[in-house]
Structure 1
Amino acid sequence: MASIDGPLSVLRPLAKLTHCLMFYTLIAATIRGAASSQALLLPPRADCQSLDSPNQHSQLYPGYATGNLNGTTLIVPIPLQTAREVIPDEYEIAEAAYRELLPSFPAGMYPMVAQIVHDHDIRVSSLNASLPDFSRASLEFPFIDIFGDGHSSFRWAGTFLITASNELAIEGAESYGITVHPATFDPPCDAYIHTLDGTMYAHSQSNDTAASKFLTIDTEPSVWNVPYPLDFIMNVTNQPVFANPQLCDYYLRLYNTSLTTGETAPVPVVGNVRTNLEPFTTPQSWDGVYGWRLATPFLEPLGPSVCQ
């Protein structure tokens, strides 16, 4: 496996292979209050080695960028009018598409996505290359109808927080018109961390303190209340991602592998979101929102495609 170390002039084309296309200084008070929440965090591991599962499918798909994506994906119901205000005017919202999948979804609401994920063990087998892990955080908007046909669903993702040290991931995202805030993540090498009160916690904070962009998620299992079936999450996370409607990332998460069974099977969760991130212009918070904590393999084409 080729090392990613080397002149950036040679490695820059590989930036487009990372899952950032579509892609700590804030104290923990943002979710539970000043020093009390900071004390709940378990001590960080000194070695910063990811606990994520290794990539076991790169040889099966040599023409793709492959890896494992682990993290928390929450569905945040927001007023449909709010969604219409923050989503660019030229894009329609395919409300009928998500209501067909979720007939009981509240009237007048829209299913925004909030997530923090960790890309691990990224490889391109055909090039004998690997890329460093990175984390990213985002607010994303599925069921966007960019063709006006009433049913084609794309996912608009205009802004990401991405691990500041991964220049390739940042440049790859920016080449698609995505706004990127280089950021620090807690934990730095995994998708979330256990806390002493039993929750799972993840935090991202832009390195530009003047901008103060951040996203924080804390969750706990919700096995008795699962309002969003895993099939719905699979649909949302596999919608083509775009920031510019001329270029789409036909990224695919695989939900039918050993990674989604046994000890690594997806877990339904309920949690809280705190953020100051585009497309919102002021800090936002949502409590008691549901989703899934899950890890899946992924496949990503080696370059962009025309949205179609």
Structure 2
Amino acid sequence: MKRGSTRPTMLAYFLLLHCFKEAASGGIAGMEAKVDIIKLVVPEYVKRGDGVDLECHWKATGEIYSIKWYFNDREFFAYIPNTSPALTLHPLGGINVTVSISSNGKVHLSNVQLASSGRYKCEVILESPAFLTADSSSNMTVVEIPEDKPTITGTQHQYRIGDTVQLNCSSPRSFPPADLAWFINEERASGQYLIPHAPTHYPEGLTESHLGLQFVVSREHFNKGAMTLRCTAKISPHYLKTQQHSVDGLLTYNVPPMESRAKSAMSEVLAEKSHIQSPLRWQGVQHPDKSSPSGNIRKNHITFGLEQSQ
């Protein structure tokens, strides 16, 4: 009985030894997840020149062999507790690590630049013999946010029905480039009114965005005799500024020169109807012609407007 009772004990011993061997090699289901990254802190956006903390939080059942940080898959920081010194830096362009306030779970980057934009990865490795590994990564974008508003060029003080609006909106230099949008009387301008222009790039990595607005003025573009044209520049979620151009509207029509033959006929009709009281009547306007010896009459051009009767 005593000799037979040792067999279960020996069997249990060999099974336990096998489990340890399998665990060391990561062969048992569920044992390979002995180290996990439970939280990675990498800011999505950082302003150029600021400092930022990168944090890596993990959960492990064994001793840590190393904690390493990578920028676009290139190692720039390592913490290896069993070496001296424990902290090791690998210089990379755009990466400035402040060692005095960095540790095994945190890396401080100072004076971040546009070149610091990219993907950051934290990697945690356990001690031998398994050297189990866990990693996590996230993107960070360094932004250059302007202080100024966008600018509008090509403005006029007044527009008549039939005039052509030709404006351009330009954003201040920034990174990433600003998204521009046009609005007419608080309504977003139709795509057919927009004239895309190529952005302007500068050596330091900044960009100016440009967007044109062009359309023929009609009565529907006026709101109580005025028209408001607005351009917005947006860099989400940090920057949203607007430049506005408000103009007076003259509800008069510019008649092309080829229609001037109708001027005399229209004048005759107006003369015959002048004694009739009407809610609306046509008003002919003659423009000075500097080339004329008398200096008063311009040929082949006239504007007509709707005038309320008194």
TM-score category of the 2 structures, normalised to the smaller one: under 0.3
Q: Give me the TM-score of the superposition, normalised by structure 1.
A: 0.18
Query: Greater share of helix residues, 1 or 2?
Result: 1
Structure with the bigger RCO (C-alpha within 8 Å, sep 6+) is 1
Q: Give me the TM-score of the superposition, normalised by structure 2.
A: 0.18
